[in-house]
Amino acid sequence: MIRVTVWNENRSEQLIPEMKEVYPDGLHGALASFLGKEADFEVRVATLDQPDHGLPDEVLNTTDVMLWWGHGAHGEVPDELARKVADRVLCGMGIIFLHSAHYSKPFKLLMGTSCSLRWREGEFERVWCVNPGHPIAKGIPPYFELEKEEMYGEFFDIPQPDELVFNGWFRGGELFRSGCCWHRGLGKVFYFQPGHETNPTFHNPYVQRVLVNAVRWAEPVNWRNQLDAPCQEKPVEAMHADGETLTEY
């Protein structure tokens, strides 16, 4: 069972009335709805206004893969929480950053760059699959189209992705690296550009398939329990002679 936490700042839902028509249960509700149909996913939601901003230690430490959507309230996420999320990724948790989460604190910590880009609202987007052999591309055609999406354009100030799965082309002429993968520590990071809050992007079956695939790709393989550098006083050969072994990374 993959333990999935969908985190959403849940502020646009309160400030933009038309969002209720597109996502009556909020972005987090829409994401949790289709993810929860997967038999091997255990899904819960968390939002910024909940106690501990939705991510107390007992939630964070029992999450295998997190989805993160944020926009206007990036600054309200405490630095300490952002560091905890980033450290959890280094320890093995997978994380999927959606759309404007490119400016979130955890994403910036994991990237180490400004993560800036160009943008414009209300554009047609054609999302091209440029890595059809990647697990996240399973069941995705050569391209799919979104009639209305927010344009994100290059230059996107991110480290070179370990793997690029999708490129976005916009009718206005812009291109964008729309689906990027990285490994950070023992964890995996996927950034996916589509998902503007007033567009029905998360109802698109191909977008849903991408995110289901991304959760499975990001599932942890191994975990670390600490990120410090402990002194190993007993040599491995001495441990081996005593019938002992290393048990943690």
First to last CA, the chain: 23
> Within a 13 Å sphere around the CA of 170, how many CA atoms are in the beta-carbon half?
22
* Strand ranges, E, within the chain: 2-8, 41-47, 65-69, 94-98, 118-129, 143-153, 163-170, 175-184, 187-192
Cα 66 from Cα 4, distance rounded (Å): 6
Contact 201, 146 (CB under 8 A): yes
> Within a 13 Å sphere around the CA of 123, how many CA atoms are in the beta-carbon half?
21
Task: Kindly list the domain boundaries of the chain, sorted by start residue.
Answer: 2-113+178-227
pLDDT tens string for the chain (249 positions)?
A: 999 999 999 988 888 888 888 999 999 999 999 999 999 999 999 999 999 999 999 999 999 999 999 999 999 999 999 999 999 999 999 999 999 999 999 999 999 999 999 999 989 999 999 999 999 999 999 999 999 999 999 999 999 999 999 999 999 999 999 999 999 999 999 999 999 999 999 999 999 999 999 999 999 999 998 899 988 899 999 999 999 998 888
What does the block give as tokens for 80?
């300490």
- The answer as to CATH 3.40.50.880 being correct for domain 2-113+178-227 is yes
